[in-house]
Structure 1
Amino acid sequence: MLILGVETSCDETAAALVRDGRHIVSDVVASQIAVHSPYGGVVPELASRKHVENILPVINEALRAGGVALRHVDALAVTQGPGLIGALLVGLSAAKGLAYAMKKPLIAVNHLEGHMEAAFVNAQRPDEPLVCLVVSGGHTALYYVGADGTARCVGSTRDDAAGEAYDKVAKLLGLGYPGGVVIDRLAQNGNPSAFSFPKAHLEKGSLDFSFSGIKTAVAYFVKKHGLPSEGFTTPYRLEDLAASFQEAVVGVLVEKTMAAVERFQVRHVAVAGGVAANSRLRATLQEEAAYRRVNLYIPSIRYCTDNAVMIAMAGYRVWQRRGFARDPLQLDAVSRWLNGA
């Protein structure tokens, strides 16, 4: 079964062809980093406009790269949500129009389930339940995933997502966008124990996250000491500040993930989303997984960020579970969609 996946939930316009839920035929992504960098974050209106410009050229390029015509595609899979509502509508409208015109089935996909599938692009998915951490600029959530792929949210952020905290701190420090990449690079030359920033564990036993406190703590630190480029009362290195901030965020992500592994007594843990590309998070998870003797599934850097391969893969599993959308033209974008992945 050949599926054309379409993804426009945030600031990447993507299309991909995947056969039988595993074999990548083509993979095209048009990034908008240059558009949003001057603003220090994604501007929803600009993202939507850029998607309108890119969506058909990207889909055509995916078909061309795969060496197939649209008539050879068996079905289309498209991100229905969650995400920026205007951005979602562009991809959803394009997919609905193509499905209707070509009389092709359409599969609505939860973006978060797509990220979960990305962890298995280069690995065989286990036939057992697992815990999955989805961590990005817009989402930070823990899922208990059944062997059939159905997912139940068991913990989520109560305020900022981890990637959002990275971007806001990077903006505060004048490091540019996307902030996670810059902070990760700086932190590799810093001392993670230089400063102590708060780790929010919330009430006992909670698997929820909170990152607004650490963001505020960094803001107070900078207000008190200034930036190295501006003069300061207490000497410090920006690399040490970045490393200490990152250590606190990564510490909570790993602790909560492993707490979920223990609670649900699973032998497999997956991590996905843009922040899964973070070098410190990847290294710490690998250490913890080895220590606890659980199997870790983590995407290559290429498939941590938004892409359409994961949407086509997830679409295949959705089709296996519940088939195609009964009335695809009635599908509407969903900005918030935590459960039901």
Structure 2
Amino acid sequence: MGERMKKLIGIAIIASSFVALSFSLYYMLKIYQSDLSMSTAGEPMLNEHIERIVIISQEQGSFMMNAIQKGAREAAEEHQIQIDFWGVYRSNLEGLIKQIDIAIASKASGIVVEGVDHPDFDLMVKKATEKGIPIITINSDAPSSLRKSYIGSDHYQEGIIMGEYIATQLNGKGVVGVIKNLSSPSTDDLRLKGLTEIFRKYEGLRVVIAANDPEMSHPKMQTNDILNHNPNVTAFVGLTSEAGESIVQAVHARSRTKEYPIFQFDDSPQTMMLIKNGQVKAGLSQHYEDMGILSVNLMKRWLDAAQLPLENSYFTPISIVTSAGEEEKAP
């Protein structure tokens, strides 16, 4: 091959390499520009002018939260508001706080969250407030925080209503074993306060609870502890949503002949099945769907600055639920 031909081949290789490099640099620049525009846009998939409410739950995927979400979606569609549902799958303060912090960072228009009566929760609500993001608590409250309002059942009134029902069913006499949630007791404490206030009106009624021991967190363990230390117990009431089946299993394992009337502070599908089978005497409906609707309606009112300030609390209805249906509905 001649010297001239070698030079021509060398020039052709250099030229083709230069063209390839030019194309590579061009596409790298386009990709960089695309990435830069996405990072500076913040929320590229969202229209920043659309109001966005984030609803955060301590029990994501539960019957209660599914009902709240159904009501909230219905109200959000009516108001043409974007709505996101976040949360943790088991009661977890640290996880809940992290979710609120992320919602604040994402510049949500408003946050609806199950309240926790704890200083760390209060600090996070304060952070949101300082950034102009309103927080409304739902189902459980944090009254010492800067939340704008609470939406949900009056848990003290739940105890009053259930206490009156139990007193009637037991003819004003008996020893009632109470199963509590030891990990987040504030809601249950209000229910127990109402319950015991009614029982004090009857000389023959009294409440007993399991030993105040962290190892007694499971409802079945609490039930067994009460049966061990109070052989004269005549009935049980579960303050927690998951207690019903555990109480039924524990008392059935101890005695297949003695009947213990069992009352439950919820109306989940599981509890309703136990009521239908005659294993639980009555439950309590808190009308979660109403909570979801009201939370979005009131947040929209706040965002529109319409008829402010909001009231401190908006209580949703409470109903005793039996195999015959709902009764004693209260505002």
The TM-score normalised by the length of structure 2 is: 0.34
TM-score (norm 1): 0.34
